[in-house]
Structure 1
Amino acid sequence: MRLHQVTTAAVAALALSLTAAACGSGGDGGGGDGHKIAVGIKYDQPGIGLKTPDGKFTGLDVDVATYVAKELGHKPADIEWKEAKSADRETLLQRGDVDFIAASYSITPERLKKVDFAGPYFLAHQDVLMRADDNSITKPSDLNDKKLCSVTGSTSAQNVKTKLAPKAQLQEYGGYSECLTGLENKAVDALTTDDAILAGFAAQPGFKGKFKLGGFRMSNENYGIGVQKGSELKSRINAALEKMVADGSWDAYVKKNLGPSGYKSESAPKIGVIVG
């Protein structure tokens, strides 16, 4: 009898300790109880996802991710922001390093083989950024024999190389800031990625008047929120995105983050509908 009492007490104590440990753990993927949640964003895209020198995070993706996290039950202080470079996004999700990724993450058939997407929540278009005094690039085919910069892991440069300007000299750098430096120093002739990203860079105080967008609209880029393959978060995030559009938050976020650059965005896309 005494042994039974001791064992029961021990089991109860163990259960309490496990419960306490669970309550202190993070990265639960949206349990809705204030636990930490890890979110991947870009750190170097003004207007989209940017880590400022004082350690703060700004941009459309940051606002969207914060809204989604709130709908999943997490306060802003619960969010652990992690850098999600283009080449690392699928790996971060597959390893479980992040719960979801909102990082100018275009939904593509190839990526859908590896991860799932909620959304889309934004429609951008591929474009080209060039020096303001360069009048030699007036159409995509003019990129032939030009030094074209993009970021490793991005689909933008390959799209130009395979479909629009096969003779373009592709230069892949680790980040967009490096491409911009190369463009400014004439090490490259053009930078290609989504127009919303390029507009954010062009609007930065240090770059005003130095660059211009081609306005080519070479592709449709449906930004989605990446989650692990088969994750139940997909449906919950879709519900959050639908609410974000319906209550006017989406319009406010776009105006706040992209309005200052003069960028004219598309209307909010319909959740679940990919624009080809």
Structure 2
Amino acid sequence: MSPKSLSARVVGALALAAALPFAATACGGGDGGGGGAGGGGDTIVIGTKFDQPGLGQKNPDGTMSGFDVDVATYVAGELGYTPDKIEWKESPSAQRENLIQNGQVTFIAATYSITDARKEKVSFAGPYLITGQSLLVRSDNTDITGEASLENNKILCSVSGSTPAQKIKDKYQGVQLQQYDTYSACIDALKNGAVDAVTTDEVILAGYAAQSPGAFKIVGEPFSEERYGIGLKKDDTELRTKINDALKKMEESGAWKEAFDKNLGPAGITAPTPPPLDN
């Protein structure tokens, strides 16, 4: 994904801030129940983030919005569940594998990077989006310009259990890494000066920048490749096939690009070509 200029991101962020309240996808709590691979008779429980604008966010009126939410809603529809039969469950990064293994969700779409380590615990459909790790700093910051700036004993914030946090620990020994449960907590720490930068995937950072127009900026080039997949119970081949079929249909029908443009386009990010699905 080609990064846009900082000016385009700032302009886009302002637009996204205005657009987010209108991007809600209806959902209902239902009467509980985990749902299955394709019934439609009960509710289906889907995990996502509740605090990531543009991707997975619970709005003040209780509705859900974001690209991950729209992808999950489309998939649920193909499995036989209308939006009012979806029960959304908050899925912080560090809890995702447990939620799947314990049967608390049918699947998770929550900026969930496909990794070999995670494949030992859960299975993945997709990927449905490829992005890259980047950095968010306060708008008046001048000494962090990209990943090379991190070695100067900077205080960097990311989320426990996330791929970006692990990458920082593995690659950047000169960084003071602060780990919180949510990215919104990292954003608060960045606002009040407790940390110098926040790191995660560029699409996530763009959404947060949009919430506080003029306060933050994304710097440098993405320095990883993150492949977002839909997590589900390990070796559930039937459900994985059904989800991949749904993703393929969403991409071919144009609904995938429509969802991307609605949720992330206003942040200055151009919709890429959907990635090929894993076999």
CA contact (8 A) 1:124 1:266 kept: no
Query: TM-score when scaled to structure 1?
Result: 0.87
Say yes or no: does 1:264 pair with 2:270: yes
Query: TM-score when scaled to structure 2?
Result: 0.86
Q: Tell me the amino acid that sits aligned with residue 148 of structure 1.
A: L
CA contact (8 A) 2:127 2:278 kept: yes
* Correspondence for 2:217 among 206, 212, 220: 212
1:33, distance to aligned residue in structure 2 (A): 3.2
1: CA distance, partners of 2:167 / 2:266: 29
1: CA distance, partners of 2:91 / 2:255: 24
Higher Rg: 1
Aligned to 1:227: 232
Say yes or no: does 1:146 pair with 2:151: no
Aligned to 1:21: none
1:30, distance to aligned residue in structure 2 (A): 2.7
CA contact (8 A) 1:26 1:36 kept: yes
Deviation sequence 1:163-207 (CA, Å, 0-9, x none): 2x2110000011111111110111000000000000011011xx1
1:265, distance to aligned residue in structure 2 (A): 4.0
1: CA distance, partners of 2:253 / 2:159: 35
Say yes or no: does 1:177 pair with 2:184: yes
2: CA distance, partners of 1:146 / 1:265: 32
2: CA distance, partners of 1:55 / 1:28: 21
Identify if the C-alpha distance between structure 1 residues 161 and 226 changes in structure 2 by more than 3 Å, giving closer, same or farther: same
CA contact (8 A) 1:48 1:257 kept: yes
For these two proteins, the number of residue pairs brought into alignment is 247
1:34, distance to aligned residue in structure 2 (A): 3.1
Of the structure 1 ranges 86-95 and 133-142, higher mean CA displacement relative to structure 2 is found in 133-142
Aligned to 2:168: 160
1: CA distance, partners of 2:54 / 2:85: 23
Structure ranking higher on relative contact order (CA contacts 8 Å, 6+ apart): 2
1: CA distance, partners of 2:260 / 2:225: 18
SS of the equivalent of 2:54 reads: coil
User: Identity over the aligned pairs, expressed in percent?
Assistant: 53
Q: CA RMSD in A?
A: 1.3
CA contact (8 A) 1:30 1:69 kept: no
1: CA distance, partners of 2:159 / 2:276: 28
Q: Tell me the amino acid that sits aligned with residue 238 of structure 1.
A: N
Q: Tell me the amino acid that sits aligned with residue 80 of structure 1.
A: E
Aligned to 2:250: 244
* Correspondence for 2:125 among 109, 118, 121: 118
CA contact (8 A) 1:70 1:76 kept: yes
2: CA distance, partners of 1:215 / 1:257: 23
* Correspondence for 2:67 among 56, 60, 66: 60
1:25, distance to aligned residue in structure 2 (A): 8.0
Q: Tell me the amino acid that sits aligned with residue 115 of structure 2.
A: T
